[in-house]
Structure formats: structure tokens, C-alpha cells
């Protein structure tokens, strides 16, 4: 694995796309295919970007934008940016420091890191790596006692929220991963899973003709969500919602927030892009709980579009891994810095001076359409 690019090189990377190209050039084929791949024919993976690109913005002029405010409040705490690091797996494949290095990057950038259940580093170890703020993304295990242990470890380690992934009773058709013979090398294990499934990978210990996997509980229902919520004092978000009906159910069952997500295009192919699903969800639940969105965010203008459609913040997944791969903690921080810069540029050019001012009026409506 290559050494981190020096600051002088990171400073010459001006977009997330620049980081993506640099990361792809560094990665071995197996890690590369895991990172960039989606499900099936990757229609949804591409659509996440295409749909964001298709949304046009409507600038207003001669407004005082000499001071900009990018702060947003989520679950009782102020965040400097409406950007959260999304849960992404196996950081040890992309940097020797693994999730601890990402945590240091989150602290440098001043953003919250969501630690994945499929991390290669234990929760408490990640939490000790920096003074960043953390959320934990949970796959509820069949072994509920183990799940409760993880909840207690996260609480004791100062985590601020849980995000229960609900869109993955089984894995999608991960064809790239299969062709690349994706597996965890011997030095890694899924540190936050029971030992019997801790070395799980899509091509190991699994009948290729069986859609069910040892680390996913396909029997989960809203009753299980209520069980989880009842065993923690922390906010529990529901991650993986594309349906307005499911968003309403989430609120009815006590979710503290809803994350609009199609799992980065990695689960069911040919579902809508998240920016396409977001408006109906925002209309269905309004401001009863915060709505967040991930999927395809690569520019500050993408952040604006999500906020305009009703999200309170966005999560970035692959971009943080690009930064981690190229420059470790400094690379993660640089990716966030670029998105922050572009967000502030977009706000000024739109004529809005705070996140609270970003609404539907920031979106271009063609003449003749309401």
C-alpha cells in the first residue's frame, strides 16, 4: 500500500473527482472493485449521479452574502457543516491506519464520523483515536445479546447516535466483488461482529446459491427496531429508506431521524436515485424528524440540492474513502474541505447566507411548470 500523498500533492487535488482518480490509481484490483462497484448492472449507481446532475439551481442576485453560515443542528448538537461521514466498510483495505485514521481525519475536518458495522477496527478503539464525534451504524444481529453489547460499548465510548441499516435483509447482486474474488485478507476481521461471522466476506463461508448471509437477519421488522430503540438512550436513525410510506412508519415507531439511501447503489439495482426519492419523503414527514440523504454526493452543489429538497444534511461515503486512500487523515479532511468550499461558493452565488435559507426556491423550475 502506497504511502500517504504529501500535503503539497493533496493541495493540487481540487475536486472529489480528482481524489477518485488518484485513489483508483493506488488500489489493488480487489479493493478497487469493492469500492467502486454497485449492484447488478449498476444502473442505480450511475443514476445517483445522473439525477443530481439533472437538478438545476436558481440563483438570485443583489443579496448580501458577505457572511455565510453553514451550521446545522442535528439531535441537539450544532454541526459546523451539513455533512456527515457515512458508514463505509473495511477501511483497513484502504489505509494501514484503518478506521482510526478516518477518525483523525473527521476530527481535522470537524465533522461526525459514522462507524460501520463492517469496520476492521473495534468501536472503542476508533473512539479513542481522535476527539471526533461518532455515530454507529448497526446491522442488528440474530444474537441480540451481542447487539446489546455493541450498543453498550458505543454508549460507553461516547457515540452520539445509532443508525440502523434497514435496507439489507440480503446483499444485492455484487457481481464486481464476485469477479474480483473479494475477501478480507487474513490480517483483517470484522471487528464488531460475533466471532462466527467475523471473517465474513461475500465469497467465503457461504453457499453461492443461497441468498441469505450469516451476518444479516432477514427476519427484522419494525418490532425489532422498537426493541433496539428501547435499549438505548441515544437517538436511533433508520438508514435505507426510499419509500414515503416507510418514512412515515419510521416516525410512528419512534425513529429520531430518517436517512434516505439506496446503499450507494449496492443493493437492489434499478431503484430510484436518492435525490429522486427525497422530495416525497420530505413531504410525507415534514420536519417531524431530521431527514438525511446519501448517494452520489460529489460536489457542494449536490449538498445544496439535497437541502433544497428537504434534507437537513448529507452523508458522504466513497469520497471519504478516496481521501483516506490517497492521504490518510489529511486526505479525508481535504475532501471535506473541498465540499465545504464548494458549498459556500454555491450559497453565495445562489444568494442565500445560511443553511436555513436553502429551500425549494433555490431549485430552477422551467417556465410553465409549477
> Which of 356, 359, 358 minimizes the C-alpha distance to 73?
356
Collapse the DSSP code of 168 into the 3-class scheme (helix H, G, I; strand E, B; otherwise coil) and give the result: coil
Instruction: Supply the DSSP symbol for 192.
Output: T
Say whether 181 is catalytic.
Answer: no
User: Which candidate in 79, 91, 95, 263 is catalytic?
Assistant: 263
Angle CA(300)–CA(356)–CA(320) in degrees, nearest 5? 30
Residue-wise DSSP of 58-115: ----S---SS-B--EEETTEEESSSEEEPP-S-GGGT-TTHHHHHHHHHHHHT--EEE
Grid coordinates representing 84 are 456527515
What span, in angstroms and rounded, lies between the C-alpha atoms of 360 and 356?
12
What span, in angstroms and rounded, lies between the C-alpha atoms of 250 and 231?
17
Residue-wise DSSP of 282-331: HHHHTTSS-EEEESS--SHHHHHHHHHTT-SEEEESHHHHHHHHHHHHHH
> Which of 320, 264, 315, 323 minimizes the C-alpha distance to 290?
315
- Residues carrying an active site annotation: 263
Amino acid at each position: 500500500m502506497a504511502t500517504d500523498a504529501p500535503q503539497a500533492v493533496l493541495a493540487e487535488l481540487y475536486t472529489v473527482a480528482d481524489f477518485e482518480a488518484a485513489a483508483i490509481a493506488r488500489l489493488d484490483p480487489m479493493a478497487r472493485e469493492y469500492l467502486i462497484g454497485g449492484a447488478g448492472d449498476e444502473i442505480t449507481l450511475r443514476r445517483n449521479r445522473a439525477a443530481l446532475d439533472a437538478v438545476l439551481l436558481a440563483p438570485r442576485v443583489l443579496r448580501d452574502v458577505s457572511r455565510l453560515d453553514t451550521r446545522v443542528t442535528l439531535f441537539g448538537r450544532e454541526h459546523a457543516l451539513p455533512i456527515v461521514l457515512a458508514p463505509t466498510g473495511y477501511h483497513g483495505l484502504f489505509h494501514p491506519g484503518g478506521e482510526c485514521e478516518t477518525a483523525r481525519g473527521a476530527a481535522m475536518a470537524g465533522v461526525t464520523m459514522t462507524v460501520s458495522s463492517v469496520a476492521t477496527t473495534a468501536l472503542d478503539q476508533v473512539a479513542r483515536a481522535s476527539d471526533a464525534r461518532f455515530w454507529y451504524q448497526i446491522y442488528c444481529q440474530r444474537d441480540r445479546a451481542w447487539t446489546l453489547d455493541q450498543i453498550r460499548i458505543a454508549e460507553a465510548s461516547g457515540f452520539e447516535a445509532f443508525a440502523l441499516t434497514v435496507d439489507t435483509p440480503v446483499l444485492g447482486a455484487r457481481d464486481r466483488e464476485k469477479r474480483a474474488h473479494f475477501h478480507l485478507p487474513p490480517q483483517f476481521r470484522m471487528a464488531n461482529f460475533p466471532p462466527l461471522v467475523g471473517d465474513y466476506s461475500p465469497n467465503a463461508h457461504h453457499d453461492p446459491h443461497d441468498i441469505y448471509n450469516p451476518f444479516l437477519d432477514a427476519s427484522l421488522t419494525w418490532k425489532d427496531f422498537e426493541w433496539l430503540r428501547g435499549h438505548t438512550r441515544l437517538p436511533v436513525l433508520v438508514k435505507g429508506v426510499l419509500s414515503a410510506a416507510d418514512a412515515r412508519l419510521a416516525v410512528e415507531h419512534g425513529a429520531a431521524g430518517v436517512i434516505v439511501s439506496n446503499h450507494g447503489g449496492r443493493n437492489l439495482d434499478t431503484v430510484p436515485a436518492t435525490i429522486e426519492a427525497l422530495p416525497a419523503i420530505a413531504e410525507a414527514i415534514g420536519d417531524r424528524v431530521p431527514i438525511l440523504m446519501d448517494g452520489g454526493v460529489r460536489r457542494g452543489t449536490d449538498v445544496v440540492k439535497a437541502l433544497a429538497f428537504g434534507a437537513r444534511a448529507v452523508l458522504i461515503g466513497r469520497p471519504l474513502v478516496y481521501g483516506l486512500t490517497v492521504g490518510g487523515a489529511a486526505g479525508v479532511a481535504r475532501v471535506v474541505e473541498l465540499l465545504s468550499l464548494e458549498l459556500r461558493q454555491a450559497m453565495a452565488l445562489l444568494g442565500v447566507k445560511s443553511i436555513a435559507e436553502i429551500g425549494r426556491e433555490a431549485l430552477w423550475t422551467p417556465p410553465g411548470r409549477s
